[in-house]
Amino acid sequence: MIAPGHALSLLAGKLEPGERILYAVRPDIGVALRNKMFLWWIGIPWCAGTLSLYFAGRASPAVALPLASVGIAMLLAPIIVAIDTRYTIYAITDRRALIVHDGWRPSLVSCPFERMDATLEIMAAGGKGGHLYFASGMPTKLRDVDYTGKLALRDLADPQEAANRLDAARKSR
């Protein structure tokens, strides 16, 4: 959880007049890495296979370089995702839920309580971590929306705590 004073300074330009932050948290790097670890299981053998083909003389540099680039991208993706979690803030205010990305692709998603689903859904992501789905029918082009149109707070260390806080905020409204 982010300290309320620090969250207020990080979100100052994103809040409406008189809006109060009730809960703020960042995605958990460990959960994010665990969710993307399969890319390393694919990327390492991919790179090893590409290098083996090249050094065995079975692939020219024109073939090996693009293949190696794909493998390197698979190896770098989890690291980039982990870095991006440091620039993401999830906040629950007395009016809405906010998802703020201030990293490479800045974005802001605001979902008022009235727009949220009646029932929250938690998807476990291994261990205690997971995702909290709270709004359906959202445009799939948004960053934190899955292919079915469900908006989520992703890679939370404790999604049940976030769900409890969001439910409490919605009930007190």
Percent of the chain with pLDDT over 90: 79
Range with the lowest mean pLDDT among 29-33, 123-127, 157-161?
123-127
Burial string for 27-41 (b: 16+ CB within 10 Å, else e) reads bbbbbbbbbbeebee
Band of the pLDDT at 108, cuts 50, 70, 90? Answer: very high
pLDDT digits (tens, 9 = 90+) for 63-95: 999 999 999 999 999 999 888 888 999 999 999
Report the 3 state secondary structure along 135-148.
ECCCCCCCCCECCC
How far is 21 from 94, CA to CA, in rounded Å? 7
**CB-CB contact of 4 with 21 (8 Å):** yes
Supply 105's token pair.
């692709």
pTM to 2 decimal places: 0.85
What angle do helix axes 29-36 and 61-85 make, rounded to 10 degrees?
A: 150
- In the chain, alpha helices (H): 4-11, 29-36, 38-55, 61-85, 159-172
Give me the chain's average pLDDT, please. Answer: 93
Phi and psi of 78, rounded to 5°?
-65, -35
How far is 62 from 147, CA to CA, in rounded Å? 35
Give the other-Cβ count within 10 Å of 144's Cβ: 21
